[in-house]
Homo-oligomer: A and B are copies of this chain.
Amino acid sequence: MFDEIQTPAVLVDIDVARRNIERFQAYAGSHGLKVRPHIKTHKLPAIAEMQLDAGAIGITCQKISEAEAMVAGSDRLTDVLITYNILGNDKLAALLALARRVRLSVVADNAAVVDGLSAAFAAAGAPLTVLVECNTGADRCGVETPQEAADLAARIAAAPGLAFGGLMTYPPAGGAARVQAFLAEARALIEARGIAVPVVSSGGSPDMMSAHLVPAATEHRPGTYVYNDRSLVARGACGWEDCALTVLATVVSVPTANRAIIDAGSKTLTSDLLGLTGHGHVLGRPDISIDQLSEEHGRLRSEGDIALKVGQRLRIVPNHACVVTNMVDAVHIVGTGRQPEMWPVPARGKII
């Protein structure tokens, strides 16, 4: 199985990825929802272009250095939302440089960030679009109430160098009613101050096929949907056949009848659990669990005879696809009727 590829290796089935992209785009289109995929899952300009080809309006990045790497890799990536509070002179200088190349928007959830963005862009010539990040239940970043959202929107609208761009949230799983209530109330409060709300951006893959339950949103930012993973299969969002990203591994030891060791550990599969037990799904072997990872070893257990041989290759669907992409300098693109091809991952490791 893929004998020409050294293991461990990250495989991406490009046909499955394309089907995943088109499926969500069709759903979103049928509900009048724009799609702005989060590139954190693939980190590949060429797949971002596939998303644009399917109808996406632009991309989402989490950090400036991610956006820089993506934009450098494709001149078609001209509309970028960075969903992060950006602070510090070096990062603001990088943001200014990026804003000269693409249609750029960012988010903020506090006055210190807004004031820093304003100081950096006051003399930039063109305003920077800033959305207010709202905490609709995920309890990460975001203003806590619609009233705070309105206050911060007014601050942005009045700030030199900035343009208020709307609202953004990373929603909690299963929280559509709460998300809708927050966003609708925030929009009403902002509009009552005479400020337009051009964009309301929500995100996430787990609930993406329920995005229409938040009619306040104008766009959605799915990330994981392009590859899918074990966490999304566990949530019922997809099947194993929809998982575009797999880890190819080799059995290096079968010390006992019900234990085997593969050459992929946490440096490939990562320790992300996302609420699951075990560290991945061995395709075709639902009787096997991956019960322990060290950096370069994955331990496989079975109830009965594990029936694996040293040298045998396995494909594993990881718990979380996005973080696996971040572990490797290159992925192997596979698909029907094509020779496997190595693609570098330009936005890997971009944490700044």
A interface residues, Cβ below 8 angstroms from B: 6-8, 40, 62-63, 84-85, 87-88, 90-91, 109-110, 112-113, 135, 139-144, 250, 252-256, 259, 261, 263-264, 266-268, 270-273, 292, 294-297, 299, 309-311, 322-323, 326-329, 349, 351-352
Contacts and interface: CB of A to CB of B under 8 A. Distances in A.
A299 B252 contact: no
Contacts of A40: 295
Q: For the complex formed by this chain, how many copies does it contain in all?
A: 2
Contacts of A63: 296
B139 A259 contact: yes
A256 B144 contact: yes
**What 9 A-B pairs are tightest by C-beta distance, nearest first?**
A112-B310, A271-B271, A85-B252, A141-B253, A62-B296, A271-B272, A6-B352, A141-B261, A6-B90
Nearest to A83: B296
A221 to B, nearest CB: 14
Contact of A87 (B254, B310, B349): B310
A290 B328 CA distance: 26
Nearest to A84: B296
A267 B311 contact: no
Contacts of A309: 112
Contacts of A7: 88, 352
A347 B119 CA distance: 41
Contacts of A6: 88, 90-91, 352
Contact of A310 (B113, B252, B253): B113
Contact of A351 (B254, B296, B310): B296
A143 B88 contact: no
Given A63-B296, A84-B296, A140-B299, A349 B327 contact: yes
Contacts of A88: 6-7, 250, 311
Given A270-B271, A297-B141, A112 B255 contact: no
B139 A299 contact: yes
B253 A349 contact: no
A166 B94 CA distance: 55
Contacts of A263: 84
Given A112-B310, A327-B351, 9 more contacts: A62-B295, A84-B252, A84-B263, A110-B253, A113-B252, A135-B255, A139-B299, A267-B351, A270-B271
Contacts of A299: 139-140
Contacts of A295: 40, 62, 322-323, 326
B311 A112 contact: yes
Nearest to A138: B294
A266 to B, nearest CB: 6
A91 B62 CA distance: 37
Contacts of A253: 85, 109-110, 113, 141-142
